[in-house]
Copies of this chain bind each other. A is one copy, B any other.
Amino acid sequence: MEGVDHLAFERNKAQFDVDAMKIVWAGSSHALEVSDRMSRLVASDPAFRKDNRAMLGRKDLFKNTLRKAAYAMKRIIELRLSEEEASMLRSFVDEPAFIDLHWGMFVPAIKGQGTEEQQKKWLPLALKMQIIGCYAQTELGHGSNVQGLETTITFDPKTDEFVIHSPTLTSSKWWPGGLGKVSTHAIVYGRLITDGQDHGVHGFIVQLRSLDDHLPLPGITVGDIGMKFGNGAYNSMDNGVLRFDHVRIPRDQMLMRVSRVTREGKYVQSNVPRQLVYGTMVYVRQTIVSDASTALSRAVCIATRYSAVRRQFGATDGSLESQVIDYKTQQARLFPLLASAYAFRFVGEWLKWLYTDVMTRLQANDFSTLPEAHACTAGLKSLTTSATSDGIEECRKLCGGHGYLCSSGLPELFAVYVPTCTYEGDNIVLLLQVARHLMKTIARLGSGKKPVGTVAYMGRVEELMESQSDVQKAEDWLNPNAVLGAFEARAARKAVACAQNLSKISNPEGGFLEFSNDLVEAARAHCQLIVVSKFIEKLQQDIPGKGVKQQLEILCSIYALFHLHKHLGDFLSTGCITSKQGSLANDQLRSLYTQVRPNAIPLVDAFNYTDHYLSSVLGRYDGNVYPKLYEEAWNDPLNDSVIPDGFQEYIRPMLKQQLRNARL
């Protein structure tokens, strides 16, 4: 059956130009071309095989990752790939590794926080990987609260050095990827102390291991922190522990772009604005949002294809059973996730623009949009990563029992994804930051200064507090203005309700803590509004390709109305829509599921993922699931022998009733 496309009958149903949609998804024809070429390069090279990851023990898995990282680098050199191509190739290798931190954190930290001189010294070494670096911030006892870090970095004017020390067990660096076994250097964060004075947390370049024999330098204790969630998954990464016993580094290894310590031990601020740091945060979180759409779309692609292959119930007189994708209960769980994948794609695209905009302004000393940009990227990071984690697990469940097999690809996708909810800002802590921004925005409304960007709608708060949806029939909900109006009113009213509650409490911080759950809900409502509005804005652009825009309009409506139904309590309790209107939204949603159904397979084909990248028997492009699932089973180590290890010692004595005398 090799070569037969078992899903051809689904692909023939497409009501839109799939190739045009591929360009929309990729962002541009150029991006599609590069990602297509790089993904095929990786997929066709057996050195990048990854279907055996779940079966490898920790050491073999890790060694294999080192090999792939080196091999990828070798190919990048051999093929003279551009930076864009190289980064794309690495992402299709699809295996967490020390290089992620080297390229994603170490190099950018030097670029962002190092002086020109420091960049000149360290960047060439890092770019050629003559040194390998990681980013050592989080400590055993300190994650979210960076200001609480305990590592001390004390200037010693006698020797012109800094002395790095881990004064407590909880001050041990803990979690940094690439630290445990590989990195030769790290950006280490700790409390800068000069002349007994604590200047708060600063970053330093610290060599950890000898460049000759790779042994840890004197005073440094370093190792791996142990197994993490899932098979394969993040266990290919050497997340590490690191302790310093009065380790000395030269003064010029403090990252001194924003502030520095002089030879005399004086702490001096430079004239570079501190806010630049927030620019980096916007950048990193924008990447996370875009990765969320990638991770979610992979899971959705697998679940959608298998839902079309799998049949259950509904057979009459020997005919085929129904495809499970035809069940409304399957559609109501799957299609909103499909819509979310597209929604996150577009909001990620918009964040990319926002980052450029913010950086341009920063360079012109315009900090006006920064708080808003910071809040909205924090919120979108939180919203999209939580939804993606839950969505991947939902996709796994949508595949029934077989989703539980590693060969479905979904367990590993989930396990490798979930830490995103915690790192770069815990998702709840981030929503509280958004809420703080919303409360500030409301407090300033009277000042005459108009709120900008994603909180601009707050400028119309009086109108929004009064507005009533004018939806009268189900199709009215297809009108973007009807949707926007409802989401704006809901977000505004939730935020105002919080502000009113807070205003009754004399101690503002105490009030913030007391009403923190309501604040989180208000922040979430605000963030959902952003996703909905950016999707709608995208649709106002010119989108070429037969039927492409129509499909996206359907997905946009599904995203919005699904959330309206899910959070109906918000919409009803704030009075912006009536029960009847809520019920009409639900009716419209049902009809949208029917409309998207024939396009479901083509819509996931538009992600353009190779079978290698999906790494899922259930999500195979050709739908040839069962023979491959059967074949895959026999590769398990347990099937190496017919009689399992341990049978003679443990099972035989049981069957032969000789347990009493058995040595076990």
Contacts and interface: CB of A to CB of B under 8 A. Distances in A.
Interface of A: 47, 54-59, 62-64, 66-67, 69-71, 73-74, 77-78, 128-132, 138, 140-145, 148, 169-170, 172, 175, 180-182, 184, 211, 213-216, 223-231, 234, 238, 241, 311-313, 315, 321, 327-329, 332-333, 393, 396-397, 400-401, 403-407, 411, 415, 418-419, 421-423, 426-428, 432, 513-518, 520, 565, 567-575, 579, 582-583, 586, 590, 626-627, 629-630, 632-640, 642-647, 649-655, 657, 659-660, 662, 664
Contacts of A427: 397
Contacts of A56: 57
Contact of A654 (B129, B148, B586): B129
Contact of A55 (B184, B216, B227): B227
A128 B654 CA distance: 9
B644 A238 contact: yes
Nearest to A635: B226
Contact of A141 (B59, B586, B626, B645): B626
A-side binding surface: helix, strand, loop or mixed?
helix
Nearest to A514: B328
A654 B565 CA distance: 54
Contact of A70 (B175, B229, B650): B650
A143 B401 contact: yes
Contacts of A423: 401
Integer count of this chain's copies in the complex: 2
Contacts of A73: 654, 659
A632 B78 CA distance: 42
Nearest to A406: B227
Contacts of A514: 328, 590
Given A67-B649, A328-B515, A397-B422, 16 more contacts: A56-B57, A57-B57, A70-B664, A74-B660, A144-B400, A169-B630, A181-B647, A223-B639, A226-B633, A227-B636, A228-B405, A230-B415, A327-B513, A401-B422, A565-B569, A569-B570
B329 A655 contact: no
B63 A636 contact: no
A66 B644 contact: yes
Given A517-B590, A573-B568, A405 B67 contact: no
A637 B67 contact: no
30 contacts: A55-B58, A57-B57, A62-B638, A62-B644, A62-B646, A66-B646, A70-B653, A70-B659, A129-B655, A130-B657, A131-B655, A138-B401, A140-B629, A144-B312, A148-B321, A215-B642, A215-B643, A226-B633, A227-B406, A227-B636, A229-B230, A231-B231, A241-B630, A329-B516, A397-B427, A400-B426, A411-B415, A569-B569, A569-B570, A574-B579
A321 B363 CA distance: 37
A518 B397 CA distance: 20
Name the residue in A312, A565, A633 with the highest tally of chain B Cβ atoms < 10 Å from its Cβ: A633
Contacts of A329: 428, 432, 516-517, 520
Nearest to A659: B74
Name the residue in A57, A64, A77 with the highest tally of chain B Cβ atoms < 10 Å from its Cβ: A57
A571 to B, nearest CB: 8
A230 B227 contact: no
A626 B140 CA distance: 7
Contacts of A140: 626, 629-630
Given A654-B70, A655-B130, A327 B572 contact: no
B568 A645 contact: no
Nearest 4 CB-CB pairings of A with B: A568-B569, A63-B646, A229-B411, A70-B650
A384 to B, nearest CB: 16
A321 B582 CA distance: 45
A170 B402 CA distance: 13
A655 B224 contact: no
A115 to B, nearest CB: 25
A404 B422 contact: yes
B655 A184 contact: yes
Given A401-B419, A647-B214, A649-B67, A228 B62 contact: no
Contacts of A225: 405, 633, 636
A175 B405 CA distance: 10
A651 B63 CA distance: 10
A401 B175 CA distance: 8
A637 B57 contact: yes
A77 to B, nearest CB: 6
